[in-house]
Amino acid sequence: MTRNDFRGFRIIAAGACLLFGSAPAPAVTEQETVPDQGLPEMVVEAENQVLQDIVKSTFEVALSAAIIDTFFTDFDEAVLEISPVEGLQPFLNNPRDLHSDQAPHCWLRDPAQPPVVTFFPEDPEGHQARRWALTVTDFRGAPFRHFEDKGQPPGQVAWDGRGDLNEMLQVGYPYSYVFSVTDKGTNTYNYAGISFRIPAVDYREKNERRLEFTGDEVFQKGGTLLRDSGRGWLTRAADQIRKDHPYSPLKVVVQAENKRLAQDRAKVVAEFLVGCMLLSDDWIKVEAVAKPDLRSEMDGSVSIRVEHAAGV
């Protein structure tokens, strides 16, 4: 190596020292590592910036009388017996029937209430009437209720269902009527009406409210099995009592041709009301009345009596 060569080597070495001296020193970590060992676990903490905003709206179904009154009983019953879901889904409908028959049964027939019958008397021959009369007769043809007055007959005569002695008509029994007009010449013209019967009536007797039904519509002939019409009448009675007299004691009075049949039927009616209205077994009193002279085609009667209901 010549002198010039040695001098050049020293210059290169000095430059390298300057270069390495100016490089930044490696960062010192807080934890020393060991060869052939992985890095320690690293925990990353951050704030969750995701926000959830849930808004629940009510589920409403607008029902009108026109929608409900479809004249299809099965459909109406299915609509009115739907119960709201319990628990976490209060805004949905639960397609399960209610545990008790508490929904109102708007499609069922109402018992007749006073005025039980409204007559529309008319003289077809147009006589100059001096006096008129309307007589309601029972199934024997005997007078039961008599109306009369002077002058022309009125456009209508309302009958509350009571006789001349203030007794209530017998449900299911056939009644008829005769309309009479006496002209100024003392001639009397009689017009016989058609026979009619009242299957159910709702009326007051002193401090009781009575809902009475003819036996042939409640029970099968001579037995204790309820007809479909009977279930309807008893359900309708339960709806009315639940609405107007929820805390009043009840009494069931059944008339039949013999005592045993009347007792068995009274028990059936009481059990039906207990299950329908969720009552205790001792809430309803029962009474059986044997009436051997009942007309066989009427098959007795059922009377559901609400006590202490005079002021309601």
Q: Please list, residue by residue across 159-169, b when 16 or more beta carbons sit within 10 angstroms of its beta carbon and e when fewer do.
A: bebeeeeeebb
Q: Round the average pLDDT of the chain to a whole number and report it.
A: 78
Domain at 117-197: CATH code: 2.60.40.4070
By residue count, the chain amounts to 312
Return the higher-pLDDT residue of 236 and 37: 236
Residue 271 has pLDDT above 60, yes or no: yes
pLDDT tens for 22-48 read 445 444 445 555 566 555 555 555 565
- What's this model's pTM, rounded to 2 decimal places? 0.66
Q: Please list, residue by residue across 14-32, b when 16 or more beta carbons sit within 10 angstroms of its beta carbon and e when fewer do.
A: eeeeeeeeeeeeeeeeeee
User: Which of 4-8, 96-100, 190-194, 240-244 shows the lowest mean pLDDT across its residues?
Assistant: 96-100
pLDDT tens for 82-126 read 544 444 444 444 444 444 456 678 888 999 999 999 999 888 888
Q: How many angstroms separate the Cα of 49 from the Cα of each of 2, 52, 53, 55?
A: 73, 10, 13, 20
Q: Domain coordinates of the chain in residue numbers? A: 65-97, 117-197, 200-306
**pLDDT at residue 289, as a whole number:** 96
Strands 208-214 and 301-306: antiparallel
Task: State whether CATH 3.30.1330.60 applies to domain 200-306.
Answer: yes
Residue 265 has pLDDT above 50, yes or no: yes
Q: Which two tokens stand for residue 227?
A: 């007809």
**pLDDT at residue 18, as a whole number:** 46
